[in-house]
Structure 1
């Protein structure tokens, strides 16, 4: 199956190269949680995901769903409540603990033997497991393969120089017949250094096109007054569905 051409007019910014050397350390991400600089967290959950959820799940039950850089995303409980198994990875232990506390879920924690210093937090019901470690170390934990990936705030947060390595991990985690729902942002990258970083349609095809067909399901105007402090006056969220070719 060839890449599905979307009829939507996805604006491309040829100057995206300006962000290619931007780097945030894991420590800086952890500090964002400590300093409460977590405007990326959506307390009501992601509205585009909610809108397309039935299409994403396709009525299937008992799916394994992966949340890269999960933070304390409330959507993890949405999937668990529907009978699916959720696995997430997040560098901030604070974010993981807040998820369980805010969702009123009891949990256990244990070290991950294969990754020194890392832990896994598991809901007492057993259907949510959140790994506290560097995403790039996660393959050493042998977490298995997934039917669905919900990538919101992850690809756009990864340092641009690490995207190929990131995409390779995501592709390695996919089961046959997977659905990968991906949210990215379009804005003028010459005006804001990121994160979230600008990710183009062409970049998605470069990273995933050898294995995946990609289709833009929706474009949404996400601009808020607070974004003016980024130096931009437009912010579009593009929601893509990646499926097996």
Structure 2
């Protein structure tokens, strides 16, 4: 297991107890402060597609905190059904516009104030609401691709997030999760640092957790945060009891 319990008392540590409000995330999209968005298919997803799909077709795949992830169209073009959720209406609309996908907008009766954007083909549904409300409208999923979601959730909300995600997993669900590792004494997030011990605390009672690999993701953006290393770590989570 790599990493250690998050430091909060050491004088050299950067506290990770900050809380970003929904409005702050929406403002990031309004101001186009979205360096977290990736313009290309995520390399770890592409490399580990076989593990996600597991020789299955026509899957229901969930994208938590999806933004305008291009991975959604890539998987939809393979014949899978995509459901995403994000608080930013801008990001969701941008996805359809930038990917040249015709869509319609509807109110979500089960969630006051929420909207859903649907591709005319019917295989992409993107909800504009809190992820914590998704249990009101979503069925269970065959796959989850979580890159940039868990690490963006306020640390105080992680347990709630994990409970929602596990409640949306089918018995044979395969959940690919990417979290990040860096010197958390120098940067407080987001993306937030999550040690393996906490990952096990969040998901270990429900899921088997398998570490797959790590990839060097250090760029100028992270160097400006004062970091000299930054890794993306990928895990495969499967409900306990899977054959």
TM-score bracket for the superposition, by shorter chain length: over 0.9
Matched, 1:232 2:223: no
Q: Partner of 1:7 in structure 2? A: none
Q: Partner of 1:12 in structure 2? A: 3
Matched, 1:53 2:44: no
Cα contact 1:19–1:160 (8 A) shared by 2: no
* Residue pairs, 1:67-106, within 5 angstroms: 67-106=63-102
Q: Partner of 1:163 in structure 2? A: 158
Matched, 1:148 2:148: no
Q: Deviations over 1:117-159 (max 9, x none)?
A: 110000000000000011112222x211001000110000000
Distance in 1, Cα, partners of 2:229 & 2:4: 13
Cα contact 1:157–1:197 (8 A) shared by 2: yes
Change (3 A) 1:157 1:227: same
Distance in 1, Cα, partners of 2:7 & 2:133: 28
TM-score (norm 2): 0.93
Distance in 2, Cα, partners of 1:20 & 1:168: 21
Change (3 A) 1:116 1:81: same
Distance in 1, Cα, partners of 2:147 & 2:34: 14
Cα contact 2:217–2:231 (8 A) shared by 1: yes
In the TM superposition, what is the alpha-carbon distance from 1:14 to its structure 2 partner?
3.5
Cα contact 1:20–1:161 (8 A) shared by 2: no
Q: Partner of 1:187 in structure 2? A: 182
Q: Partner of 2:238 in structure 1? A: 243
Cα RMSD (Å): 1.2
In the TM superposition, what is the alpha-carbon distance from 1:28 to its structure 2 partner?
0.3
In the TM superposition, what is the alpha-carbon distance from 1:205 to its structure 2 partner?
0.6
Q: Partner of 1:3 in structure 2? A: none
Out of 127, 130, 145, which is 2:126 matched to?
Answer: 130
Report the number of matched residues.
235
Change (3 A) 1:213 1:38: same
Distance in 1, Cα, partners of 2:198 & 2:211: 13
Distance in 1, Cα, partners of 2:7 & 2:232: 16
Q: Partner of 1:41 in structure 2? A: 37
* Residue pairs, 1:194-205, within 5 angstroms: 194-205=189-200
TM-score (norm 1): 0.93
Q: Partner of 1:5 in structure 2? A: none
Cα contact 2:207–2:238 (8 A) shared by 1: yes
Cα contact 2:6–2:195 (8 A) shared by 1: no
Q: Partner of 2:169 in structure 1? A: 174
